[in-house]
Amino acid sequence: MASQRDRATLEAADHRRIGPVDPAQTYRKVPTMSDAATRILEQLQAQNDLRMQAANDIAQAVAARVEAEQQLDQAKAAEKQAFTAALKKGWTQTELNKIGAPSRRRPRKKASETTPAAES
């Protein structure tokens, strides 16, 4: 008797979880498209794929730039700590300036050098 009750409970639970099958919903008719509509959709999908690839390229480039900026900040902090430690160990600021990082300023171009843009 207990097994019949358990079976009935399981069947009821299965019925609630799955629900009754409606034959009208199992075979819904899918509207068919014309060849012209299909071609248009394929062209639009191809264009969208190209746009998404471009967006993906931008996202990867931005991520690489952000990572490089973080690494640059870490390198600057390490450089500052190294210079501070060197000062504490007896180096002078003048000596460190001579061996420090090169100037950020670009070298001046000689007056005799001309650029192609200046010639035209």
The pLDDT tens digits for 15-41 are 555 555 565 555 666 667 788 999 999
90 within some domain: yes
Question: Contact 41/33 with Cβ under 8 angstroms?
Answer: yes
Residue 91 CB neighbour total at 10 angstroms: 13
Domain interval for residue 65? 36-96
54 within some domain: yes
Is the pLDDT at 1 greater than 70? The verdict is: no
The span from the CA of 39 to the CA of 66, in Å, is: 41
Token pair in block for residue 23: 């034959």
65 within some domain: yes
Token pair in block for residue 64: 């690489």
Burial (CB count <10 Å: 0-12, 13-18, 19+), residue 84: exposed
Write the CB contacts of 86 (distance below 8 Å, at least 6 apart in sequence): 96
Mean per-residue pLDDT for 54-68?
98
102 within some domain: no
The span from the CA of 45 to the CA of 51, in Å, is: 10
Token pair in block for residue 97: 């300036």
81 within some domain: yes
Q: Residue 66: left (phi > 0), alpha (psi -120 to 50), or beta? A: alpha
Token pair in block for residue 104: 């950020």
Is the pLDDT at 7 greater than 80? The verdict is: no
In the chain, the number of structural domains is 1
108 within some domain: no
116 within some domain: no
